[in-house]
Amino acid sequence: MKQIDSRLLVFILTIGVFGILNTEMGVVGLIPYVAARYGVSVPDAGLLVSGFALVVAVAGPTMPLLFSCVNRKAVMLLALGVFSACNLFATVAPSFELLLAARVIPAAFHPLYVSMAMAVAQQTGDTAAERARNSARVFVGVSAGMVVGAPIAGMLASSVAFPVAMAPFAIVTIVALALTIAFVPSMPVEHALSYGRQLAVFKKPLFIASLLAAAAINAGMFGFYSFLSDYLGSAGFAAAAVSALLFAYGVANISGNAVAGRALGAVPARTMVVAPIVLLALYVLLFALGAWQLACAALLIVLGVAVGVANTTDQYMVGRSAPEAPDFANGMFLTATNLGTTVGTTLCGGFIAAGGAPASVLGALPCAALGLIFVAWRLREQRRGDLDGRTAAVPEADPAGASAR
């Protein structure tokens, strides 16, 4: 069997997860353009986000289990092939219904690839430190995919055309597919965990509390983010300014990952509590001051950092709660967070229907508050001894550089 340099493998995995997460969240920057192009309401256009997330939520626990014994290169090729084909079709979809289908079909393969990429990165390297760094690099691709695509897509839609804005999603996944075909060797699974051992993590209250906290916090963060471009437009920002602010938000989000890494390494319990509290405060301030563009822009940058911290903290909580079954825990983390995105997008869309785009931020408040309650439950379970809070972090929660979902 041919070998592959670990750095090249991690790079290919990073490109792959970037392409898949970019496909999922990049369309956020296109919601107003989708509504105008296909003659649907903004909340209905939000189905491109919530529908995708709902499918990921269903597929999160099932697809990694079903394919847990399949050669990992075959898994990569299958997932990237489906994403590439559907992304290409999405650039020319003649109706909203077909565009929605081109979104939800590949969503089923999202957790399959991302969970596999996380697991492979966690097992690649000769030392624990090297494996942790490789895992962190893949998570950078995940985090960047979540926040970089939206401003670029929005800029292309406003300055060129909608099909051009959709094209980068296909380009990235096709590049990842080509790199996988050319360089990744056959990767058979040698020591697959039984279904029973993986499902046993549901017996742990700590794991359940961690998943619920991640789902609720993510509902607030990405429910509001799904309509952020529309929110900024309602605040009077021009299309170019909206794209610039979305890009700045993304950069701030990535920097928040580094902040969280240091904070979780030093004071993990405090970071878990503070993250949703800060989100609550920022959402209240955005609702109160969002009509003033300077205040809105400043608060948005701070929110980007806070969301980056909360994202990393969510992954930390779930990863620490089930280190004995990392592949399945990764899949369930994706299920929880994407189910949260579905609920949050629906809730924020309801607030938009009732009070206009500025009211979308109100939908994030109950989600963040509920997340804080679940965090308190998680910390109580931790204190009860289900998992020693001072045990070594699993790779995906490595405080030196862990990243978002």
Task: For residue 302, count other CB atoms closer than 10 A to its CB.
Answer: 17
- State mean pLDDT over 69-79: 92
5-19, 69-83, 155-169, 318-332: which range is least confident on average? Answer: 318-332
Q: Where are the domains of the chain?
A: 6-393
Alpha carbon distance 260, 250 (integer Å): 15
DSSP-assigned states of every residue in 351-389: HHHHH-GGGGGGGHHHHHHHHHHHHHHHHHHHHTTSS-T
Mean pLDDT score across all residues of the chain: 85
Q: pTM of the prediction?
A: 0.75
145-172 burial string, b = 16+ CB within 10 Å, else e? bbbbbbbbbbbbbbeeebeebbbbbbeb
Q: DSSP letter for 194, please.
A: P
Identity of the highest mean pLDDT range in 144-148, 201-205, 206-210: 206-210
20-34, 40-54, 126-140, 337-351: which range is least confident on average? Answer: 126-140
- State mean pLDDT over 296-322: 88
DSSP-assigned states of every residue in 64-109: HHHTTTS-HHHHHHHHHHHHHHHHHHHTT-SSHHHHHHHHHHHHTT
Residue with tokens 């910390």: 379
CB distance 13 to 230 below 8 Å: no
For the stretch 355-404, pLDDT in tens is 888 888 999 999 999 999 999 999 999 888 744 444 434 333 333 333 33
DSSP-assigned states of every residue in 27-49: GGGGHHHHHHHHT--HHHHTHHH
pLDDT at 195: 67
* pLDDT interval class at 224 (50, 70, 90): very high
* pLDDT interval class at 225 (50, 70, 90): confident
pLDDT at 279: 96
The CATH number of 6-393, from 3.10.20.90, 2.30.30.40, 1.10.3720.10, 1.20.1250.20, is 1.20.1250.20
DSSP three-state, residue 164: helix
pLDDT at 402: 35
Has residue 125 got a pLDDT over 50?
yes
Task: For residue 197, count other CB atoms closer than 10 A to its CB.
Answer: 12
pLDDT at 270: 93
39-53, 258-272, 302-316, 342-356: which range is least confident on average? Answer: 258-272
CB distance 275 to 317 below 8 Å: no
Percent pLDDT > 70 in the chain is 90
41-50, 66-75, 394-403: which range is least confident on average? Answer: 394-403
Alpha carbon distance 287, 117 (integer Å): 38
Has residue 192 got a pLDDT over 70?
no
**Nearest of 224, 229, 243 to residue 283 by alpha carbon:** 224
- State mean pLDDT over 192-206: 79
Alpha carbon distance 376, 382 (integer Å): 10
- State mean pLDDT over 112-131: 76
Has residue 148 got a pLDDT over 60?
yes
Alpha carbon distance 260, 375 (integer Å): 16
Helix (H) / strand (E) element for 392: namely none
28-32, 61-65, 260-264: which range is least confident on average? Answer: 260-264
Length of the chain equals 405
- State mean pLDDT over 111-123: 82
* pLDDT interval class at 2 (50, 70, 90): low
CA 333 to chain centre: 10
* pLDDT interval class at 107 (50, 70, 90): very high
Environment class of 27 (CB within 10 Å of its CB; exposed 0-12, middle 13-18, buried 19+): buried
In the numeric block, which tokens belong to residue 220? 């607030």
In the numeric block, which tokens belong to residue 243? 């794209």
- State mean pLDDT over 60-72: 84
